[in-house]
Chain A
Amino acid sequence: MPQVEIPKDSWSGSVTTVTLGATAADGGTRSHTITVGGHKALPFMHFEQKMAHRPLIALEIKDHRPDDWSPLLLDLWGDAANDPASWAKAAESAGADALVLWLSQNGTDGKPTTPQAAVASTKAVLQASGLPLLVFAPGQAELDNALLVPISEATTGERLVLGICEDKNYRTIAATAMANGHLISTRTPMDVNLAKQLNILVRDMGIPPDRILMDPTTGGLGYGIEYGYSVMERLRLAALQGDGNTQSPMIVTPGAEAWKTKEAKVGHDVPATWGEWLERAINWETLTAMALVESGADIIVLRHPESMRRLRAAIDELMSVPA
């Protein structure tokens, strides 16, 4: 019988190891920390290098009941979605590895979210759940700064992840993260060079690499996932080839992207060929996420606990191959 020589890639670079959250011993209040990154090979190629840390799944919660989420999600979370503390508890008991508190642009009164309200929501979540926490602002550069700086100052030492750090506001967010012992999540729109450029800019500010997560952005299934998928593959290849500006662990938000699509969001007046609504929506979210796991995602932010359960079972299988 012939002996097939299995080609193994050997890489000069590796992905940075990043730890989220701080326990009491390290000056925070989290019940435990989580660690991602550290890869020395492409995802799940254990026969080359045992994968250092498995991809983790965070569930997204909001500071108040959102008015633009699919009724499937709102029905599922029920009353828990009415306030961030009970939502955090529900997401933790659903089995999330971490929580993303994604702040709304407006409060329930229709006016822009105030810094006081944002700090209160963040503190409520930190009290309700011991999970490592990521806090994402609404994505309007000025408002984001106004909300994230006081949050950062009110939670010193927690090793939160502050996002979304974009080219317009990276200075403010990186500075407050460094001053208060937090991490940042940078976001660029599905482009390898823009991702590298923002990484250079935040590192020029002096923030250490082990406090940076990179969100290369994705499209949902059917709405541009192939761009996000290939950008992530290219970023990970560049990281392994030794490009220091692409070596941050990657965080992506397939939950938000998938649940934005009509296929997931809408249950009536759609073609019969789309099939049953709930299962279709869960497939839309899990398949978006699965493709991104294959292309190198380290933290996957989802919205539905059933999608999380299925994706985690898949990651278990991907991790269980002997080296």
Chain B
Amino acid sequence: MPLSGLQIYKLLPKTNCKDCGLPTCLAFAMKLAAKQMELAACPHVGAEAKAQLADASEPPVRLITLKPSAKIAGGRELKSGNETVLFRHEKTFINKPGMFLRVHDNEPIASIQARVAAVEAYSVRYVGMDLTLDGFAVQAEAPLDATRFASVVSAVRAASKRPMILIAPDAAVMSAGLKAIEGDNALIHGATAANYEAMAALAKQYHSALVACADTLDGLADLTNKIKAKGVDDLVLDPTSRQLGASLTRQTQIRRLALKKDFRPLGYPIIAFPGDAAPDQEALQAAQAIAKYAGFIVLERFAPEMVYPLLVLRENIYTDPQKPIQVLPGLYEINNPKPTDPVLVTTNFSITYFSVANEVEGAGLPAWLLIVDAEGMSVLTGWAAGKFDAERIAKAVKDSGVANKVTRHRLVVPGHVAVLSGELEEALSNWEIRVGPREAVDLPAFMKQVL
């Protein structure tokens, strides 16, 4: 938890020497608390104070970075953790949980390679973004076989440029897997009270993050303390519950302890295994993991009809509430419009855009859709804030060159801004200004009946 200015002041030399450039130590402390200066600006601060201040500046949920070896060109990096709120509306959720597909080392290698290749090739477009899965988990199955595990890990690494999670209960097997991807910053699953010493040694040797597994919070906190004492700082938590109710309870408790109590032993991202659920519950478990605090999500099945909605949900939940997703202003063609088709106007708030575009497209009606830069606001909000007015609409008409594409100059404005039509008729004198319906859902009927 960040210290207040006064708490920091108590750790400073309190000599007001001005060597930091500020008149007093208190002023310097205030700047530190506001993160406007670095502690290094004070040449006199003691080692103990430095340690305490460094500790206090640690994020409540540790940032974990996974990446393939630097030798792999174009390797993808994944960051998880660093979260600061319990509810997305308080600020924003920051690092989207990494979504991994799990393969098992007792599957035929050809089928593993085929699935890895399919995931590597998979990318789905949503609101102008290309969404993909983040990496692969390889799980060692009984009877354990270190050689087989290592060869599957190698095969996945050969087919993928994404981060990996290695899952094996035995340190010798894990060691063989890690050796196969030496140079990777991988995630190891996992350490238990029984094997943590060997697993911690491997995590150190291979610069990997380590999952601590325990079925109680006491056990989990105890385990992370012991692993940290072995010199491993990058930890991830597996509270081992695979049932929705217990997972929600544990993950909420862990997040609250980290954020509200600054409880360091549980200040790490959480890993969830929706893939352990029944096949028809996997998507629902993953949905809860996305909304409720998972940092890593391991899926069992790769099916676009499940992965696409999950990737969209993750995008939605992790959208910054203060900066809504916008679409590029400009002219969009819907259903191959002809020069005689109408020009519809709305704002560049992504949901406004998609509501209008989907209604018109879904109804099979051709139209030109002119998107005005309203700084990402909806029609009513944009109008109220002066970001969606006659001036901006007229400018968008001119900038887009739509006048050269249509022969019939008909401009349909949203019903909510009917009040703008007078001004628009003046600004766009050679256009016929029509007032459309207030809601996008009524557009198809309006277009069929009125235009």
Structural contact, B358 and A262, CB atoms closer than 8 A:
yes
**Is A279 a contact of B218 with CB atoms below 8 Å?**
no
| Complex contact A273–B304 (CB within 8 A) | yes
- Among B122, B246, B287, which residue has its beta carbon within 8 angstroms of that of A291? B287
| B-chain residues with CB within 8 Å of residue A233 when the two chains form the complex | 87-89
Cβ-based interface call for B128 (8 A): no
Is B228 in contact with chain A by the CB < 8 A criterion?
no
Residues in chain B near residue A310, CB distance under 8 A = 280-281, 284
Number of interface residues of B (CB under 8 A): 59
Name the contact of A223 in the complex, choosing from B245, B287, B354 (C-beta under 8 A): B354
List A contacts of B304 (CB < 8 A): 272-276, 280
Please tell me which one of the listed residues A1, A44, A226, A280 contacts residue B317 in the complex, with CB atoms under 8 A apart.
A226
- A7 on interface, CB distance cutoff 8 Å: yes
Report yes or no: B313 in contact with A287, Cβ–Cβ below 8 A: yes
Instruction: Tell me, in angstroms, the Cα distance from A221 to B124 when the chains sit together.
Output: 15
List CB contacts (< 8 Å) of A290-323 with chain B.
290-291, 294-295, 310-311, 313-314, 317-321
**Which of B89, B225, B284 is the most central at the interface, judged by chain A CB atoms within 10 Å of its CB?**
B284
Contact B245 A4 (CB under 8 A): no
Q: Do B122 and A7 touch across chains, with their CB atoms under 8 A apart?
A: no
Whether B123 sits at the interface, judged by CB under 8 Å, is: yes
Find out whether the CB atom of B317 lies under 8 angstroms from the CB atom of A265: no
Evaluate contact between B249 and A321: CB separation under 8 angstroms: yes
Please determine whether B303 and A1 come into contact, CB atoms closer than 8 angstroms.
no
* Residue from the list A2, A222, A271, A276 in contact with B316, Cβ < 8 A: A222
* Chain B 206-228 near chain A by CB (<8 Å), digits 1 or 0: 00000000000111011001000
- Scan A208-248; emit 1 where CB is below 8 A from any B CB, else 0: 00000000000101111111011001100100000000000
Contact between A45 and B249, CB atoms less than 8 A apart = yes
B451 to chain A, nearest CB (A): 20
Nearest-CB distance from A14 to chain B (Å)? 19
Point out the residue from A46, A274, A283, A313 that lies within 8 Å of B249, measured CB to CB.
A46
> In whole angstroms, what is the CA distance A280 to B337 when docked?
30
Q: Is A273 a contact partner of B252 (Cβ separation < 8 A)? A: no
Bound-state CA distance A276–B354 (Å) is 22
Interface readout for A253-287 with B: 1 if CB under 8 Å, 0 if not? 00000000111011000011111110110011011
Q: How many residues of A contact B (CB 8 A)?
A: 55
Which residues on A sit within 8 Å (CB–CB) of B285? 314
B312 lies within 8 A of chain A by Cβ: yes
What chain B residues lie within 8 Å of A224 (beta carbons)? 351
Residues of A near B89 (CB, < 8 A) are: 230, 233-234
Residues of B within 8 A of A222 (CB): 126-127, 309, 312, 316, 354
The one of A227, A286, A318 in contact with B245, judged by C-beta atoms closer than 8 angstroms, is: A318
Does A237 lie within 8 Å of B87, measured CB to CB? Answer: yes
| Contact, CB under 8 Å: A283 / B291 | no
Chain B's closest residue to A278 (CB) is B305
Indicate if A12 sits at the interface (CB-CB under 8 A): no
Known: A2-B265, A45-B249, A234-B89. A226 touches B284 (CB 8 A): no
User: Across the interface, do B305 and A274 meet the contact criterion of CB distance under 8 Å?
Assistant: yes
CB of A246 to closest CB in B, whole Å: 14
| B265 nearest in chain A by CB position | A2
Contacts of B266 in A (CB 8 A): 4
> Is A47's beta carbon under 8 Å from chain B?
yes
Is A226 within 8 A of B319, CB to CB? yes
B310 within 8 A of A: yes
Asked if A290 and B284 make an inter-chain contact with CB atoms under 8 angstroms apart, the answer reads: yes
Chain B, 249-286, CB within 8 A of any chain A CB: 249, 252-253, 256-257, 260-261, 263, 265-266, 280-281, 283-285
State whether A265 and B362 are in contact (beta carbons under 8 Å apart), knowing that A4-B266, A234-B89 are contacts in the complex: yes
Task: Give the docked Cα–Cα distance between A47 and B138 (Å).
Answer: 35
Is B244's beta carbon under 8 Å from chain A?
Answer: yes
Does A6 lie at the interface of the complex (its beta carbon under 8 Å from any beta carbon of B)? yes
Asked if B13 is at the interface of the complex by the 8 Å CB criterion, the answer is no
Contact of B281 among A4, A225, A313, A320 (CB under 8 A): A313
Return chain A residues, CB-CB under 8 Å to B351: 219, 223-224, 227
Q: Say which residue of B218, B252, B283 sits within 8 Å of A283 (CB atoms).
A: B283
From A44, A274, A313, give the contact of B248 (CB < 8 A). Answer: A44
A277, B87: Cα distance in complex, Å:
33
Give the chain B neighbours of A265 by CB distance below 8 A.
362
Residues of A within 8 A of B252 (CB): 45
With contact pairs A6-B217, A223-B351, A318-B245 given, residues A261 and B284 touching in the complex (Cβ less than 8 Å): no
Most chain A beta-carbon contacts within 10 A, residue among B123, B305, B358: B305
Q: Which of B218, B249, B307, B355 contacts A2 (CB 8 A)?
A: B218
Say whether B312 contacts A221, CB under 8 Å.
yes
- Identify which of B124, B261, B280, B291 contacts A294 (C-beta below 8 A): B291
Option from B243, B306, B358 in Cβ contact (under 8 Å) with A275? B306
Shortest A309–chain B CB gap in Å is 8
Partner among B125, B253, B288, B317 whose Cβ is within 8 Å of the Cβ of A6: B253
Is A320 a contact partner of B245 (Cβ separation < 8 A)? yes
Nearest-CB distance from A110 to chain B (Å)? 12
Q: How far is the CA of A45 from the CA of B292 in the complex (A)?
A: 13
Identity of the chain B residue whose Cβ is nearest the Cβ of A226 in the assembled complex: B316
Most buried by A among B244, B303, B307, B317: B244
Verify B265–A321 contact, CB threshold 8 A: no
Between A45, A47, A265, A291, the greatest number of chain B beta carbons within 10 A of the residue's beta carbon is seen for: A291
Q: Which of B73-87 contact A (CB under 8 A)?
A: 87
- Of the candidates B87, B249, B303, the one whose C-beta lies within 8 Å of that of A47 is B249
A3 within 8 A of B: yes
Q: Can you show 30 pairs from A to B with CB atoms below 8 A apart?
A: A6-B253, A6-B257, A7-B256, A44-B245, A44-B248, A221-B309, A221-B316, A222-B316, A226-B317, A230-B89, A233-B88, A261-B358, A262-B362, A271-B125, A272-B304, A273-B123, A276-B305, A279-B306, A284-B309, A287-B284, A290-B287, A294-B288, A294-B291, A295-B291, A310-B284, A313-B281, A314-B288, A317-B245, A319-B245, A321-B245
13 further interface pairs, Cβ-Cβ under 8 Å (given A225-B316, A229-B291): A3-B218, A4-B218, A6-B217, A7-B257, A44-B248, A46-B249, A222-B354, A230-B87, A271-B124, A273-B123, A273-B125, A273-B304, A287-B287
**Which A residues form the contact surface with B (CB < 8 A)?**
1-7, 44-47, 219, 221-227, 229-230, 233-234, 237, 261-263, 265-266, 271-277, 279-280, 283-284, 286-287, 290-291, 294-295, 310-311, 313-314, 317-321
